[in-house]
Amino acid sequence: MEGCGGGCRGAYRVVVGWRTAREQRGTVEVYEVSARDGSRINTVAVPVVLAPAA
């Protein structure tokens, strides 16, 4: 397997559980933690619509 020196992007998947009584807008945010000081960097916010279970 060939390496990329830490610059490769990977495929990620996560299941997030939630409960809501009605449809509403929300945001999923992902970020990287800085190795220098532990702060959040490279934050991306993705708008989503949360819906009640059927």
Q: What is the pLDDT of residue 44?
A: 94
- For 34, residues 6+ apart whose C-beta sits below 8 A from its C-beta are 40, 41
Predicted local confidence at residue 14, as pLDDT: 83
What is the model's pTM?
A: 0.59
- What's the pLDDT score for residue 2? 61
pLDDT digit string, tens, across residues 4-46: 666 677 777 888 888 899 999 999 999 999 999 999 999 999 9
Structure tokens at 18: 């939630």
